[in-house]
Structure 1
Amino acid sequence: MIDLLLVHGTVITMDPSRRIIYEGAVAVQGSRILEIGESGVLMEKYKARQTINCSNHCILPGLIDVHGHGGHSMFKTVAMENLEQWMPIMTNTYNHYVTDDFWYYEGKVSALERLKAGITTGVSVIGSTPRADDPIFALNHAKAYNEIGIREIVCTGPANPVWPKLYSRWKDGRRITKEVAYEEVLKGTEAVVEALHHANSDRTRAFVTPFVIVTSIEGSGPTPPSRLHRLTDHDRYQARKIREIARKHETRIHSDAFGGMIHMAVQDKDYALLGPDVHLQHCRGISFDEAKILANTGTNVSTSPSITQISARTPIVELIELGATVAISTDGTSPSTSFDLFQAMRKTQLIHQAAMRDEHYLPPGKLLEMVTIDAARCIGWDDDLGSIEAGKKADLITVNMKQAHLTPETMHVHRLVHQAVGGDVNHVIVDGKVLMEERKVVVDENRIIEEANAIALETIERAGLEKYMAPTDYFWGHTRAYVDEKRFDETDYQFTITEEEGR
C-alpha cells in the first residue's frame, strides 16, 4: 500500500518532455513521487492510505519563489508614499527595532502566505540589507517555516560598508545598541549556514548572501559607466570571504546585482561572485556584454516585475536566448508585493512585452517554466524539485479549475498563466505530506494571523512607523501623490552605542 494517490487530474509535469497527462494521476510513497500515469492504470495498480480526487483540477509541481525577504510580511505597504526613503526606513527598523521573536512570528505568517499561494519552496533574505550580527534571527525564521512545513532557503550575509555598524537587540523592553565589526557578521553568517544548511530533513537550506556582489558602487540600481572604475580592497576581500564560506560548507551564493556590477566583478577572476553556484536577483540595467558574461559563466538570474523595470530593465529575453537560466521571483512582500507567483508571471510578461514592443515574447509555457523547473535550477535544487517525475520529491499543488474565471477548462497552461491567482490553489503537498486540503491548512491559521498582527503593531509603534502609514492630502481625488509634510528625517536614524532606551 502506498501513502498517497492523486487521481483524475490534469497533470502538468514540467518534465523534459513537458508532458501534460489528461485524466492523470500521481502516486506518492514517503516523501517522493513513485509514478505518474493515467488514473485508471495507477488506481488499478496501487491502493493508497489517502486518495485525493483531482477532478477539474490541474496537478503541478510546487511553485518556487527564488527571492523574497524575511521581515517584510509585517510591513506591507508601510512607507509607500516615501518610496525614495523606503530602504533606509526599513533597514533602520530591522537593525534597531525588531525583537528576536519578531523573526519567528513574521516567518510563520510569511510561510503561511506562500503555502496558500502554492509556493512550496521560498527564498528568504533576512531583512532588507541582510542582518547577520547574530544567528538567532535566521534560526527563528527557519523554525517558523519548518513548523508550517514548506521549504525555505535562508539567506544572510554582510551589508554594504561602512564598517563597523551599529545594531540593536531588545531585552526586557530596552534597546541595547552594539558596535559590530565586519568579521563578526561573517562569523554570524557562517554560523547560520552551519546550523541550517540541509536541516529539517533538507527542507531548510542556507545560502551565503552579501547585500550586493560589488559594494563600492550604487547598491540599489544601475551605475553609469563613467563611475565604473576598479574594485576596492573591500570588494575583493568580501568576494574572497564569501567564496571561502560557501566552499567550506558546500553551499551556494545568492545576492543582488545591478548594471555595472557584473562588469566590475570579473576583475577578480578567481573569486568573482559569478558562476553556476551563484544566483543573482534583479540584474536590472545590465549591459549586453554583462548579459553575455552571466550566460558564459553559467550564473543564474532571477527577476521580479516592478515599475523600476521600465527605466532599467532586466534583459530576460536576451539572457534566455544567450543560454542563461532565468527565474521569476516575487521579491515579496513589501512595500506592495504579494507572494503570488501567478500574478508575478503575468506582470513579467506585460512589462517585457511592452519593453520589447512585441506581444509575442514570453509565451505562457516559458513563464510557467520560470517558476517551476527553471526556478529549481536557479537555486541548484532541480535534482529533487521543479517537475513531477518519478524519484523526485513529492512537492505538488492542485489548482481548482471549476471556477468562472478559469472556465472553460481548456488550454490549461494558458488558463493558469493568464487567469489563475494564488487563491485558486486547492491542495499543497510538501515532502509527501498534505499541508493544505480544499484550502484548509493543517496549522492554526487564525492564531498565526492574530499573533502576527499583534507583533506587527507592536513593532510599528516601537519604530515610530505610524507617520509613514497615514494617507497624504493627495490620497483621494488626485492623479499624482505628493507628501507635503516632512516625514523622513535622517537624524531619526542616528544611534550611539550608549543609547539603551526604546522610544
Structure 2
Amino acid sequence: MIDLLLTDGFVVTMDKQRRLLQNGGVAINKGRIIDVGNSEDLNKKYQAKKVIDCKGHVIMPGFIDAHGHGGHSLFKTIASDNIGDWMPIITTAYKHFVTDEFWYYEGKLSALERLKCGVTTGVSVMGSVPRSDNPIFSINHAKAYTEIGVREIVCTGPANPPWPQSFSRWKDGKRIVEEVTFDQAIKGAEAVIEALNHSHNDHIRAFITPYVIVTSVNSSAPTPLESLHRLTDHDKMQARLVRSIAKKYDTRIHSDAFGGMIHLAAKEKEFSLFGPDVHLQHCRGISFDEVKILAETGTNVSASPGFGSINARTPVTELIEMGTTVAITTDGTSPISPFDMFQAMRRMQLLQQAALRDYYYLPPGKLLEMVTIDAAKCVGWDDEIGSLEIGKKADVITVNFNQPHLTPAFMHVHRLVYQAVGSDVDTVIVDGNVVMENRIVNTVDEKQVLDEANEEAWATVKRAGLEPFMQPTSYFWGHARAYLDERRFNKEEFEQKMEVKIL
C-alpha cells in the first residue's frame, strides 16, 4: 500500500526526455516519486491510501522561485508611486521599524501566496538589503514557511559599507538601537546558516548572500565603463569571507550583480564569486564579455522581468545560448510583483522578444524549464526537485484545465505558459504531503493568516510613518502620465523625523 496516487491527468514530467503523458499519473510513497506512467498501468500496479482523480488537470512539478524577498509581502505597493525613493524608504523600515514577529507573520503570508500559485520552493532574501544582524528574523521566517508547508531557501548576508550601521530591535513596544559592525553582520549570517541549512527535514536551506558581489560600484544598476577601476579592500575581504563561509557550511552563494561588476570581479579571480555553486540575480546591463565569464565559470543566473530590464536588459537569450543555466524569478512581492510564475514567464518572454524584435525567442517549453528544472539547477537542488522522476522528492502540483480560458484541452504546455494564472493551481503536494487540495489549504487557517498579516502590516506602517507613501497622487485618475509634484520624501527631513541615518 503506497501513500498517494495521482491518476488520469496530463503529465508534464520535465524529465530528461521532457515526456508528456496523456492519461498519466504519478505514484508517491514516503515523500518520494516511485513511478510515473500510464494511469491504467499504475492503477493495476499500486493500491494507495489516497487517490486523487486528476481528470482535466495537468500534473507537473511544483514551481521554483529562485529569487524573492522575505518581508516584502507586508509592504506590497507601498511607495510604488515614489519608485525612485522606494529603496531608502523601505530599507529604513526594515532596518528600524519591523518587529521580530513581523518576519513570522509576513513569512506565513508569503508562503501562503506562493503555495496558492503553485510554488513549492521559494528563495527569500531577508529584506530589501539583506538584514543579518540577528538570526531571529530568518529563523522566524523559516518557521512560518515550515508551518505552511512550502520549501524555503533563506538568504542573508552583509549589506554594503560603510560600517558600522545602526539597526533597531523592538522589545515591549520600545525601540532599541544598536550599532552593528561588519563582523557582527557576518557572524549573524553564519548563525542563520548553522541554524537553518538542511533543517526541518530539509524543507529549509540557507545560502550566504552578500547584497551584491562588488560593493564599491552601483548596487542597483550598471556602472559606466569610466567608473570601473579596481576592487576595493572591502570588496576583496567580503568575497574571501563569503567564499570561506560557503565552504565551511557546504552551502551555496546567492547575490545580485549588474553590468560592470562581473568584469571587475573577474580581473582578480581569487576574489570573484563565480562558479557552479553561485547564482546571481538580475545581471542587467552586463556586456557580452561578462556573459562569457558567467558561461565559462559555470555560474548560474536568475532574472526577473520588470521595467529595469527595458533600460538595461538581462541578456537571457545570449546567456542560454552560451550554456548558462538561467531561471525566471518573481523578485516578489514588493512593490508590484506577485509570486505568480505564470505571469513571470509571459513578462520575461515579452521583454526579450521586444528587445530583440523577434517573436520566436523563448518558446513555451524553454520558459517552463526556467521555472522548474532549470530553477532547480540554479539553486543546486535538481538532484531532488524540479521534475517528476522516480526517486525524486514528491513536489507536485495540478493545474485545473476544466475552465473556459484553458479549454480546449490540447497543446497543454502552450496553454500553461500563455493562458494559465496562479489561481488555476488546484492541488499542491510537497514532500509527498498534500498541502492544498481543491484550493483548500490543509496546513493552516487561511483566514487567520490573512488577519494576522493585515494587523502586523498596519502596525508596521504606523510605526514606520509610511502612510504618506500609500496615498494616490493628484494625477492618479484621468491622466496619461503621473507626476509626484508634492514633496513626499526628503532624505534629511525623513532622517530627522524617524531618528535614523540613511546610508
Measured after TM superposition, the shift of residue 496 of structure 1 is 12
Letter aligned with residue 327 of structure 2? A
1:462 is matched with 463
2:246 is matched with 246
Rounded to whole Å, the distance in 2 between the matches of 1:235 and 1:407 is 54
Letter aligned with residue 340 of structure 1? D
Rounded to whole Å, the distance in 1 between the matches of 2:139 and 2:63 is 24
Measured after TM superposition, the shift of residue 471 of structure 1 is 0.7
CA deviations on 1:65-99 (whole Å, 9 max, x unpaired) are 00000000001100011000000101000000000
2:451 is matched with 450
- 1:334 is the counterpart of 2:365: no
Rounded to whole Å, the distance in 1 between the matches of 2:20 and 2:254 is 33
Rounded to whole Å, the distance in 2 between the matches of 1:168 and 1:495 is 16
Letter aligned with residue 341 of structure 1? M
Q: Name the SS for the 2:185 alignment partner.
A: helix
Rounded to whole Å, the distance in 2 between the matches of 1:440 and 1:466 is 34
Letter aligned with residue 358 of structure 2? D
2:488 is matched with 487
Q: 1:492 to 1:380 in 2, by over 3 A?
A: farther
2:308 is matched with 308
2:52 is matched with 52
Letter aligned with residue 468 of structure 2? K
1:232 is matched with 232
Rounded to whole Å, the distance in 2 between the matches of 1:268 and 1:135 is 32
Q: 1:496 to 1:177 in 2, by over 3 A?
A: farther
Measured after TM superposition, the shift of residue 37 of structure 1 is 0.7
CA deviations on 1:184-205 (whole Å, 9 max, x unpaired) are 0000000000000000000100
Q: Name the SS for the 1:7 alignment partner.
A: strand
- 1:205 is the counterpart of 2:205: yes
Measured after TM superposition, the shift of residue 172 of structure 1 is 1.3
Rounded to whole Å, the distance in 2 between the matches of 1:49 and 1:225 is 63
Measured after TM superposition, the shift of residue 138 of structure 1 is 0.4
Measured after TM superposition, the shift of residue 307 of structure 1 is 1.1
1:288 is matched with 288
CA deviations on 1:299-337 (whole Å, 9 max, x unpaired) are 000100101111100000000000000000000000000
- 1:67 is the counterpart of 2:67: yes
1:113 is matched with 113
Q: Is the 8 A contact 1:92 1:493 kept in 2?
A: no
Q: Is the 8 A contact 1:153 1:205 kept in 2?
A: yes
1:172 is matched with 172
Measured after TM superposition, the shift of residue 269 of structure 1 is 1.1
Rounded to whole Å, the distance in 2 between the matches of 1:492 and 1:104 is 31
- Structure 1: which 5+ runs fail to align? none
Measured after TM superposition, the shift of residue 493 of structure 1 is 4.8
Rounded to whole Å, the distance in 2 between the matches of 1:42 and 1:298 is 39
Q: 1:307 to 1:99 in 2, by over 3 A?
A: same
Letter aligned with residue 458 of structure 2? L
Q: Is the 8 A contact 1:166 1:495 kept in 2?
A: no
Rounded to whole Å, the distance in 2 between the matches of 1:277 and 1:369 is 20
Q: Name the SS for the 1:426 alignment partner.
A: strand
Rounded to whole Å, the distance in 2 between the matches of 1:90 and 1:264 is 29
Paired residues, number: 499
Rounded to whole Å, the distance in 2 between the matches of 1:492 and 1:402 is 55
Measured after TM superposition, the shift of residue 271 of structure 1 is 3.2
1:473 is matched with 474
- 1:40 is the counterpart of 2:58: no
Q: 1:496 to 1:334 in 2, by over 3 A?
A: closer
1:278 is matched with 278
2:356 is matched with 356
2:373 is matched with 373
Q: TM-score, normalised on structure 1?
A: 0.98
1:432 is matched with 432
Rounded to whole Å, the distance in 1 between the matches of 2:269 and 2:285 is 22
Letter aligned with residue 452 of structure 1? A
1:297 is matched with 297
Query: Which range moved further: 389-398 or 258-267?
Result: 258-267
Q: Name the SS for the 1:494 alignment partner.
A: helix
Letter aligned with residue 134 of structure 1? N
Measured after TM superposition, the shift of residue 485 of structure 1 is 1.1
Query: Which range moved further: 162-171 or 264-273?
Result: 264-273
Q: Name the SS for the 1:302 alignment partner.
A: strand
Letter aligned with residue 153 of structure 1? I
Rounded to whole Å, the distance in 2 between the matches of 1:234 and 1:179 is 19
Letter aligned with residue 313 of structure 2? R
Rounded to whole Å, the distance in 2 between the matches of 1:273 and 1:466 is 40
Q: Is the 8 A contact 1:124 1:152 kept in 2?
A: yes
Q: Name the SS for the 2:269 alignment partner.
A: coil
Rounded to whole Å, the distance in 1 between the matches of 2:40 and 2:407 is 25
Rounded to whole Å, the distance in 2 between the matches of 1:178 and 1:465 is 22
Measured after TM superposition, the shift of residue 267 of structure 1 is 2.4
Q: 1:495 to 1:185 in 2, by over 3 A?
A: farther
1:141 is matched with 141
Measured after TM superposition, the shift of residue 219 of structure 1 is 0.3
Rounded to whole Å, the distance in 2 between the matches of 1:479 and 1:179 is 46
Root mean square deviation of aligned Cα: 1.2
Rounded to whole Å, the distance in 1 between the matches of 2:74 and 2:220 is 22
Q: Name the SS for the 1:82 alignment partner.
A: helix
Rounded to whole Å, the distance in 2 between the matches of 1:496 and 1:415 is 51
